[in-house]
Structure 1
Amino acid sequence: MSAPGASSAAVLEAARQASLAGHHQQAVDLCVSVLRQHPGEPHALAFLALALWRASAFAQAVDVLQQALKHFPAQEELSLALLDAWLALGQGEQAMQFAAGLPQALLARPAFRSRIEDRLVRLLNAGAFEQCEQELLPLMQAQPDWALARSLRLALRFHGSGGGVSAHALTQAGTAAERGAAWRRELADAMSSHRRHLLASVAQALAAAPADKRLLELQARLRFESGDRLGAADLPQLQRWLGSALHGPFPLRSAQDSGPAATVDILEPARLLDIPAPRCVGGALQLEGAIGPAITSDRYVAQARRATACAGSDVVLLETGDAWCDSLTHPLGELTGPYSDSWMALASVQQVLLRDAPVLHVEGTAWSLLGSTARFYGHWLLDYLLRLRALEHLPQVLPVQVLVEDDMPSSHYQALALLLGDRAPLRRVPRGQAVQVDRLVWAGPDVYFPHATRVGAPNLASVSPASVDGMARLRQRVLDALPAPTERRGGRLLVRRRSLTRRVQNEDALRDLLVAEWGFEELHPETLDFADQVRRFQGADVIVGAQGSAMSNAVFCAPGSVVVSLCSSFAANFPAWAHALEQLGVRHCFVVGEAQPGSHALPLQRDIRVEPDAVREALRLLGVEPTGHGR
């Protein structure tokens, strides 16, 4: 490329030296002075772009870098700066598309490759599989022989294995027991077929790259999920890959197959529910598979001597070396995604391999409310607290210690104190700490409610259908424990969401509408203790809010109340929750907004925009009229 004029060249060299010395604003000013005299001068654009990039002014740098690259296509430093800038701005898809268009020789350079690998592996490890695949595809098309791209693609096929299961493929048998047995067989067949094909692809990739750590680890995971026994060399190898000492594998037991080490009382066998289509306005909910027949779980209470539980995990390890994990032994266990369990290193519906964890011995009897999802308010309220009903069937075990997670919000502990009083002291256990108890007591969940299912798994009404009986009992027990309300009912609440996901992007406009025309009051549940949250929801006539954990408090609404949930078209388990509210006497309607694709990698967690007219329509549909003034 030809050099600029002598005087301009001297100024640009001074700009380059200033930028390298960290004086970025001085460098920018010098480059701008040249561009004022010579608009569009290519070298000035290039130096300005690099100065802005080094100054972390990425939004400005992107525009100037693109201009400079028109003059100096695929110039290494400019290309690397643009890739970096897009990544820094969170525009990963744009960055990967740009990288895919670079010459192969440039893309093979360590600086480029390390940034790309870093981005894709981070997405994979974070569980953002759909986003990872979107960004990986153009790179695979550009460089089909790239070993990392091959192994990542296979890893995505493994994590996304739920996509091989169709909601229509599962047998519609006549009873819960028949359906559960049929689903186990059909899911096992579908997943086994998927794993066989994937193992063949991994073997083919290993032939070209026999030392590829990611491929070898993936091969071991697939074999473990298939039920293969670990060889003598497998465990040390897995320990190196996973960075932890490992124990096991331990075969899985369940309430129906408990073995001699645990005493199990099945309080209510699994049964069939029918989830109807919910009311909704605005857009259309994707209801395929999310409504219709659903199967609950066996509701049970179990006891075992010298059993071990671990904070952040759904596993109970028995003295005999058998393990217990309800989400894996449920008929839909093949769809469980054990991505967030602190103790499980590898899992299948037949066996688990556990990470090394420090073990604390606890004397006497303890009730475990430990679990991988206990720290999430919606799971805590509509899963873990419902299990306390089982205590009513074991009055002889009180008083006991209650094992709980140490990292939960204060509202979780307040709820327990309200329900248990001083009958059972809490023992808070740090995440990753195992506790062996002389006699451990635990209860099964009312429904199949995993933290996540495998990526690509279809909507299924049996994934976390709400327990109407459990919710009704929880509402009654909590309200009985609180002083009788003295305030007049009749309030209208707009529940605001502080989370970084599932936000309503035009929530301020909705607030102005609902406060000014409909007499609503804003409510931030996260700022209130548990008792106050219950009182506010129980005392309101009308509630509007984005679907999320805070709206789980609608279980405490009085019969005849109105609840309007704002959500995207991705139905998930929302219809089952809405049906349970209706069964409790609460009138409910969804307002379906437009999901914002770039706001989150997972469809369920994306932000939405909601049409104000749709909210008006939902309120009127439920018999609510505007007041004309705020409260």
Structure 2
Amino acid sequence: MRPTAIFIDLIRSIDSGNAPDKIEALATLLSMEPPGEARAIATLRHLEALGFRLEGSGQFGAAARAYDLAAPLDPRGQERWRTTAATARLRDLVERGLWDEASAFVAEMRRGGGAEPALREVAATLLRVGWDHECRYRAEPAVQCYRLAFALNGGDAGLATGDGHNISTKIRNLRILQMNALAEAGRHEEAAALHESTRTIAGLGPVGIYDIVSARQAAHEGQGVYRELLAGRRMAEPEVRFLDGPIALTSQPGTLDAPPQYVALFTDCLTFPRSNVVLHGQRLIYDLAAHPLSGVADIKDGVNPGQIMTAVWGAGRALIEAPAEIREIEAGLMMFGFQSRQYGHWLLEFAPRMLWFNDPACPAHLPICVDDHMPDTHRQVIELMDTRDRPVIVLPPVATRFRELGIAPVPAFFPFDTREGLPTYDAIWPQDVLAAMRRAILERLSEHPGGLGPAGRRIVLSRRGFTQRQLVNEAEIVEALRPHGFEVVHPEHLTFAEQVRLYHSAAIIVGSASSALINCIFCRPDAQVVALTHESPAFYFRGFTSFVESSGARLLFVRGATQHAEGVHPMHANYSVAPSQILRALARTQSAG
């Protein structure tokens, strides 16, 4: 049986301008003339359609009231109607940005003891709303929706955001983005307050605010000892050579001002293994973050998986998360830090520090401290370079306080990544420091049985074991080079000493421009190196040239054809190189030799 004509007229008269008043009139009518069982089904259908129509026009509060009116008419489905009404009511509070009221409503729903599936359903709706805000670059509404969903669900279990993250991870990542923006604007206190509002969801500690200083600045202000061992100097611009002639590079050229090299000593420092952060009182000692060019750097401490703290930077100050646990160590030299596991970072950023730790200016009693996740090759580098037989202390990923800490710098200004919207920063490496490291390692190896071995080998470096920047037709290239006396090697299967001897024995090396090519710093001065890469003009051409040619070897780039794939950064794309290109490069290196 149809509802009464008065009911139908009221339903039809409701629009976005009068919904609240008209629905209350509808509620009064239903209380005065409750529909009998025969009319209840049709009345329910009209109320459901009304609620759906109001939600579609953004009238979520009015829609919730319509669903409230429907609940008593459906004794068997009252829980469904209550859930639908609660969802609409939350949507209303969210759309109006009434986050405190929304939190109170969520808390009331949890206290009400509703069925977990129903609560999860409401939470899932909040996740969809949050994802829509996030896709529209509205970070704060997105975080608030995710926060409410987390509270309603009682945690992460069973829910994921639109891109597959759990809620706590998503909130952490969005908060870091927001805090970075505030820090860059000099609004550090606001950033700290933002972190405080949701840190328990992400399982984080409170943050402190620290002034960023270089090691030199901190020491000169009476906070430590700074001994400069190599002054800052101007480097020559590397001459990048391509098989088919010059190209227009789109990366940002690295600075030609090589930073000073030093040993600095500080007392009572708080450090974070797998990170470059060193806290000393209310200061953060970090040369990269204190450098005049630091604005190009997207400093990654605390962002990537496996790190143990959260840090954001900007306007000369940083926000650092307070650790939940602190380990105490008497003394040590800092050979730990961000990306210490990755071979290329280790050899260029960390290993040269041993030159300065070997210097008489560095106290002999300090042990070497390293991260716990490094491969054996890294320890072998230390063993070859250490002239003082220092003990090595392995640090687990726990915040560590040193009573005495020795620091040495990275040889170049080297940001781990550039900020979004800025060109790739192509760091240029000082050849004098790398040549000194090369010399120290070769001299130690020459004293070992067998020495450095004979010269004249022709080598192809295989990259088959890697997933990024693959030379997809490697087998074809190898077959083209075999008749010319080339052998295939996999450097990652060799000890460090074996790798050094291998590269030192080579007359010609052909391989992908990757970490394995960094070992070319151990080549002989008359060696020829052919570096294969994709066609991106934003690659690190200057950087590779500067460190490879620190040995005296000559580097020639061969650009192949990029294999573009969705979701793969152009810098990490796979590629192919025509065998004819390789043979032309070989002929050119032979004529140059």
- TM-score normalized by structure 2? 0.66
3-state secondary structure, aligned to 1:334: helix
Q: Give the alignment partner of residue 524 of structure 2, picking from 552, 558, 571.
A: 558
Deviation sequence 1:212-240 (CA, Å, 0-9, x none):
96877644432123221325844421523
> CA separation in 2, counterparts of 1:338 and 1:620?
43
Q: Go from structure 1 to structure 2 and tell me whether the alpha carbon gap of 1:380 and 1:234 turns closer, same or farther (over 3 Å shift).
A: same
Q: 1:536 aligns with which of 494, 502, 513?
A: 502
- 1:440 and 2:405 aligned: yes
Are the structure 2 counterparts of residues 153 and 537 from structure 1 closer, same or farther at C-alpha, using a change threshold of 3 Å? farther
TM normalised by structure 1 equals: 0.63
Once the two structures are TM-superposed, the CA of residue 329 in structure 1 deviates from its matched residue by: 1.4
Alignment partner, residue 387 of structure 1: 353
Q: Which has the higher contact order (CA 8 A, sep 6+)?
A: 1
Q: CA deviation at 1:534?
A: 0.4
SS at match of 2:377: helix
Q: State the Cα distance separating 1:206 from its structure 2 match.
A: 9.9
Equivalent residue for 2:292, pick from 331, 350, 371: 331
1:481–1:208 CA distance, 2 compared to 1 (3 A): closer
Structure 1 residues 352-363: aligned runs within 5 Å: 352-355=318-321, 356-363=323-330
Aligned to 1:481: 444
1:525 to 491, 502, 520: 491
1:294 aligns with 2:253: no
Please name the residue that 2:560 is paired with: 593
Query: In the alignment, which residue of structure 1 is the partner of 2:200?
Result: 240
- Mapped contact 2:208–2:319 kept (Cα < 8 A): yes
> Which amino acid in the other structure matches residue 617 of structure 1?
R
* Structure 1 partner of 2:431: 468
Given candidates 428, 435, 454, the residue that maps to 2:419 is 454
Cα separation, 1, equivalents of 2:555 and 2:393:
38
- What are the residue-to-residue correspondences of 1:152-551 with 2, within 5 Å? 152=135, 154=137, 218-231=177-190, 233-240=193-200, 242-258=202-218, 259-281=221-243, 285-291=247-253, 294-318=256-280, 320-341=281-302, 342=307, 343-355=309-321, 356-363=323-330, 365-395=331-361, 397-420=363-386, 423-430=389-396, 432-460=397-425, 463-482=426-445, 483=448, 485=451, 487-497=453-463, 498-515=465-482, 517-551=483-517
1:572 is the counterpart of 2:539: yes
Task: Check the 8 A contact 1:297/1:330 in 2, yes or no.
Answer: no
Partner of 1:10 in structure 2? none
Aligned partners of 1:543 and 1:564: how far apart in 2? 6
Correspondence list, 1:116-131, <5 A: none
Amino acid at match of 1:535: R
Cα deviation 1:42-62 (Å, max 9, x = unaligned)? xxxxxxxxxxxxxxxxxxxxx
Supply the AA of the counterpart residue of 2:288: S
Aligned match of 2:162: none
Q: Report the counterpart of residue 602 of structure 1 in structure 2.
A: 569
Q: Partners of 2:527 and 2:565 in 1: how far apart?
A: 35
Cα distance, 1:496 vs. partner?
Answer: 0.7
Q: Deviations over 1:34-90 (max 9, x none)?
A: xxxxxxxxxxxxxxxxxxxxxxxxxxxxxxxxxxxxxxxxxxxxxxxxxxxxxxxxx
**RMSD of the TM alignment (CA)?**
3.1
Q: C-alpha distance in 2, partners of 1:203/1:486?
A: 60
Relative to structure 1, is the Cα distance of residues 613 and 202 closer, same or farther in structure 2, using a 3 angstrom cutoff? same
What 5-or-longer segments of structure 2 have no aligned partner?
A: 1-127, 150-170
* Unaligned stretches of 5+ residues in structure 1: 1-144, 155-200, 627-631
AA in 2 matched with 1:244:
L
Corresponding position: 1:616 with 2:583? yes
For 1:89, the equivalent position in structure 2 comes to: none
Question: How far did residue 427 of structure 1 move?
Answer: 0.5
Separation in structure 2 between the aligned mates of residue 208 and residue 491 of structure 1, nearest angstrom: 62
Deviates more, 1:543-552 or 1:286-295: 286-295
Q: CA deviation at 1:433?
A: 1.5
- State the Cα distance separating 1:392 from its structure 2 match: 4.0
Aligned to 1:185: none
Is residue 364–residue 388 contact of structure 2 (8 Å, CA) maintained in 1?
no
CA distance in 2, matches of 1:272, 1:503: 35
Q: Find the residue that maps to 2:350 and give its secondary structure.
A: helix
| Deviation string, structure 1 residues 433-476 (Cα, Å, up to 9, x no partner) | 2221221001111112232222332144xx42112011101111
Equivalent positions of 1:124-143 (< 5 A) are none
- Matches of 1:403 and 1:375 in 2, distance apart? 14
Question: Secondary structure at the residue paired with 1:533?
Answer: helix
Task: Percent identity, please.
Answer: 26
Q: Structure 2: how far apart are the matches of 1:203 and 1:219?
A: 8
1:314–1:372: 8 Å Cα contact kept in structure 2?
A: yes
Rounded to whole Å, the distance in 2 between the matches of 1:387 and 1:234 is 38
1:599, distance to aligned residue in structure 2 (A):
7.0
Aligned-partner residue type, residue 228 of structure 2:
I
Q: 1:24: which partner in 2? A: none
C-alpha distance after superposition, 1:238-272 (max 9, x if no partner): 52354311331222111342133222233344444
